[in-house]
Amino acid sequence: MPELQSTCQESRFLKEILFVICSYLLGSIPTGLLLARAFGINIREAGSGNIGATNVYRTAGRKLGILTLVGDCLKGLLPVLIARWLDLPLVWVAAIGLAAFLGHVYTVFLGFKGGKGVATALGVFIGTAPLAILGGVAVFALVLYKWRYVSAASISAAATIPLFVMFVTCRPEPIAMSCVIALVVIYRHRENIARLRAGTENKFKA
């Protein structure tokens, strides 16, 4: 009986690891690149060269930008929702969400060079801490409205989201996940930070 229980635990562990890998691969799908390519645009050679929704919006138009935003968001949301539906332990839900986020930022399909992760992080937080994301979205909207810099809004939201997560939950798993995501998002915006300091960052035009 103990051997059977041990075998079941090992099988469950392997399935959870496989789920994390699949989540990473789903996150790695370059939504913006594929959508832009369908309309004859190489997004990596247009605008800032980033595959995220903001650059797609600026270079390929509003509709493709919105579709990219939705697609990138779903890459983070769907794995988390499935993990919660399967009633996986919270540590695995957090790991699966983080894997999807890292898949977008460091996609295996583009030599581990992807987007900045904001939209995919949004999907992850909608699935893991929906109340916290309301605060993050509010910060993003306020900064964008005031200064018109998407990068500044993204950095501000990333910096504050761990605080909102800590406010709505005392569990260490989502808090740790939110801190890692925040640090990676801010790090991925390091060039934007330099341009903001130099006053050369592009403003968002609605």
How confident is the model at residue 5, as a pLDDT? 59
The confidence score (pLDDT) of residue 7 equals 67
> DSSP label at 202?
P
Predicted pLDDT at 205: 73
18 membership: H or E segment, kind and range: helix 2-28
Evaluate whether 103 touches 24 at the Cβ level (below 8 Å).
Answer: yes
Q: Which of 124, 160, 128 is nearest to 141 (CA)?
A: 160
Helices (H), 39-117: 53-60, 62-85, 90-105
Which pLDDT belongs to residue 10? Answer: 75
Answer for the pair 158, 199: CB distance below 8 angstroms, yes or no: no
Q: Domain ranges in the chain? A: 2-198
- Predicted pLDDT at 49: 85
Asked if residues 170 and 117 have their Cβ atoms less than 8 Å apart, the reply is: no
User: Mean pLDDT of residues grouped by 10 in the chain (206 residues)?
Assistant: 62 90 97 92 87 91 94 98 95 97 96 95 96 95 95 96 95 97 97 94 81
